Amino acid sequence: TDPKLVAGANGDASQCRVCHSVAANGSVLITQRNLGDLRKFSAYDLKTGAETVISPEGAAASFSWPAIYPDGTMFLGDSSSAAGSTTTPNGLYTVPTGAT
């Protein structure tokens, strides 16, 4: 089949979807919305196409650049001194709520 756009759209930076991770079983995609260090992420159910915003967002978010578990149920949040990251220790979060 032909590729299908799942996240984002053509347009300005608000439609951009950058860093992303897909569960090995193909069930969930997590992607950063927009550019920069805003730490805004969404989870996409790849079977239904439904988007769920992962909260909290922005400075309140204690995660960045998520690496998703193979079954799509959890993700590991990055902790580093890199721009856009957080100094909160690495942690596991549930998908799609972002709660520890």
Domain that holds residue 42: 13-94
Q: Is the pLDDT of residue 89 over 70?
A: yes
pLDDT digits (tens, 9 = 90+) for 20-43: 889 999 999 998 876 666 778 889
Round to whole Å and give the CA distance between 84 and 26.
27
Q: Note whether residue 8 is domain-resident.
A: no
pLDDT, residue 3, reads: 75
Taking residues 68-95, what's their average pLDDT? 83
Burial classification of residue 31, based on how many CB atoms lie within 10 Å of its CB (0-12 exposed, 13-18 middle, 19 or more buried): buried
Q: Note whether residue 1 is domain-resident.
A: no
H-state helical runs in 9-91: none
What does pLDDT average to over the chain?
A: 80
Q: Is the pLDDT of residue 70 over 90?
A: yes
Q: What domain count does the chain have?
A: 1
